[in-house]
Amino acid sequence: MSNASVALIIIAIFIMGSAAVGIAPGLREKLSFEQWAVGGRNFGRGMNWFILAGEIYTAFAFMGAAGWAYSKGAPVFYALGYGCLAYIVGYYLLPAMSPIGRRFGLMTQADLVEHIYDSRVLGVLTAAIGVCFMLPYLQLQLTGLGLIIETCSYGVIPRTTAMIIAFGLVATFVSVSGLKGVAATAIIKDIVMIVAVVYFGVYLPVHYFGSYGGLFEAVDKAKPGLLMLPGATKNMDVSWMMSTIALTSLGFYMWPHLTANSFSARNPDVLKHNAVYLPLYQICLLFPILIGFTALLVIQPTLKTPDMAFMMLVQKSFPGWALGMVGGAGALACMIPAADLLLATSMVFTRNVYGRTAGTGTSPAAMARLTKGVVLGLAVVALMLCIFSPGMLVNLLLTGYSGVSQFFPLLVLGVFWKRANKIGAFCGLAVGEFLVFYTMLNKLDPLPVAGMNLNAGFIALVANMLVFVVVSLLVAPQRSESVYLSTHPVEPAAH
Amino acid sequence: MRTLKIFLTLLPFAWTIGGVAFANRIRPFVLGLPFLMFWILSGILLAFLCLTAMYKIDTHGQKH
């Protein structure tokens, strides 16, 4: 058999197999809406681990980290640093949010915001902003998927066909099984991806350079200075790295789908326990970076698309089965996060935007049917965007992480600070999002300030936080004692 | 205990984010890795250790 057909068969097995696993929970039993949306709030450590960890190792981890190492050098190290700090934020935040969700039947991030501030307007606003940033993220996964399958099938399957088939399957299993389907497939995805990343990340550098030390000696000799900041870039220097790690670690759990994932936990201890071990999982990100540096020396001439570095190196070094493995793992790395995003976007859009504006008074049963329909509708929208205007959402995408990070004061102070109120929250959010859009649209990221190059989202977050706190202190307390207590996690008595 | 928990919470942030200011160098290589890369990886281990200690403090005395 030719390399192409071997690779193609392996990729097809991965995609079809995971779609079958994803659809099974919904076919086996009739799921209630709560089971569909937040897994019945009954996920133990294992299931919760895979949806929390699984949404982290996306197409970026797989292709982007290698691509950044290949094209930028040392700035890629930021990707190793922020996750473990984000888990410390999560250690406090997730176990505090999850019981509020259980007690008041909340299913989305915007539900939570509306509840803590007792403000429908703020809930709708959070939901609308969340959808604006999740949709391009969804499109990114989809575009990555098309590119990976096209490359790994040696061009036999064009990217549009690949996107339609794979995404059709994703939309089907999300609509049938909801979060249970996402969790079941996330397990497969993580195992496949870790095996692929560790195998190639250990083998390739050693194969070409004898050892990791040998690899980095060679990189340092060929490209002096690449392995320290700012690497091959002009302005990704020490201040950029510090502000970027600060922003991404604080903003990490602000992605709306991760709030919904935390609502799925059986009890707060599940979330605390998993936060302790998640940093170790992050060490896996080391391997794509090693592969990226190997590709830099081995692949000539320079790639036009640095994100292809991983696959090109495998294609150069192995026969078809290996590319099939990477293609299958890479496809899953796009499909499963896309499934979770699709679920969260549909939920937020239907419940918090439509349901709280034009659709007030829709019955819960009609709402549930509508949400499942919106899953399919959004999948079509995302596909159309990818096929007909792949570049249109680029600006929004760039703002994604900075944009959702602006929810940090809203959520964290809302849960932990008694004086936080809706007027402060609204003003802070408005200032933060304005600065994010202004700096991004004027290409001011990183933002030069006093000789430093600071992450623009970080500046926006600092301004947002200041405005939030000052305005909250200036206006009279809005939340009555009882509302605060009803949302505030009860600390166990000191011992 | 409260002070200790705050310390354990902030230490990894100081190590990873603050450390970049001092660790931006290629040599010496540690475990075959450039120094900056090694430094950031060491932050992962430190965060794990701090979280483990925090979890121990939080669950201390609770029945499991």
**Per mean pLDDT, which range of A67-76, A215-224, A406-415, A436-445 is the poorest?**
A436-445
Q: Which of B17, B20, B55 sits opposite A272 (nearest CB)?
A: B55
Q: Which residue has the tokens 């202190």?
A: A473
Cross-strand pairs, A449? A452
Of residues B60 and A115, more confidently modeled: A115
pLDDT level of residue B12 (50, 70, 90 thresholds) = very high
Ramachandran class of A237: left when φ > 0, alpha when ψ lies in -120 to 50, beta otherwise? beta
pLDDT at A19 over 60: yes
Contact A372, A175 (CB under 8 A): yes
pLDDT at A494 over 50: no
Q: Which residues of A touch B33 (CB under 8 A)?
A: 212, 216
Single-letter amino acid, residue A166: A
Mean pLDDT score, A40-47: 91
pLDDT at A318 over 60: yes
Segment A367-407, tens digit of pLDDT? 999 999 999 999 999 898 888 876 655 556 667 888 999 99
Q: Cβ atoms within 10 A of the Cβ of A17, count?
A: 15
Mean pLDDT score, A455-464: 94
Q: What is the pTM of this model?
A: 0.91
Is the ipTM beyond the 0.90 threshold? yes
Most confident listed range (A110-114, A148-152, A194-198): A110-114
Q: Which residue has the tokens 């830099």?
A: A296
Q: How far is CA A70 from CA A31, A280, A288, A314, A465, in A?
A: 45, 24, 10, 14, 36
Segment A239-276, tens digit of pLDDT? 999 999 999 999 999 999 999 999 999 999 999 999 99
Q: Which residue has the tokens 């405005």?
A: A467
pLDDT value at position A64?
85
pLDDT at A282 over 90: no
Contact A153, A7 (CB under 8 A): yes
Mean pLDDT score, A285-291: 93
State percent of chain A over pLDDT 70: 94
Per DSSP, A433 falls in state H
Contact A5, A157 (CB under 8 A): no
Mean pLDDT score, A282-304: 90
State percent of chain A over pLDDT 90: 58
Q: How far is CA A198 from the centre of its chain?
A: 21
pLDDT value at position A495?
38
Contact A370, A345 (CB under 8 A): no
pLDDT value at position B61?
64
pLDDT level of residue A159 (50, 70, 90 thresholds) = confident
Per DSSP, A43 falls in state B
pLDDT at A92 over 90: yes
Q: Which of A216, A276, A282 sits opposite B34 (nearest CB)?
A: A216
pLDDT at A487 over 70: no
Contact A123, A110 (CB under 8 A): yes
CA closest to B2 among chain A residues? A494
Tokens encoding A460: 């926006």
Segment B23-62, tens digit of pLDDT? 999 989 999 999 999 999 999 999 999 999 999 999 986 6
pLDDT value at position A436?
92
- Chain A interface, best mutation among B3, B13, B35, by max A CB count within 10 A: B13
pLDDT value at position B44?
96
Mean pLDDT score, A101-110: 93
Segment A333-370, tens digit of pLDDT? 999 999 999 999 999 999 999 998 888 888 888 899 99
CA distance A47 to A183: 6
Average pLDDT for chain A = 88
pLDDT at A332 over 80: yes
Q: How far is CA A330 from CA A55, A341, A380, A389, in A?
A: 14, 17, 22, 23
Would an 8 Å CB–CB cutoff place B49 in contact with chain A?
no
Peptide bond before residue A446 is cis, with ω within 30 degrees of 0: yes
Helix (H, G, I), strand (E, B) or coil at B27: coil
Secondary structure element (H or E) that encloses residue A453, with its range: strand A452-454
For chain A, positions 227-246, list CB contacts with chain B under 8 A.
227-229, 238, 241-242, 245-246
- Closest Cα of chain B to A77: distance in Å? 6
pLDDT at A173 over 80: yes
Q: Which residues of B touch A279 (CB under 8 A)?
A: 44-45, 47-48, 51
pLDDT at A425 over 50: yes
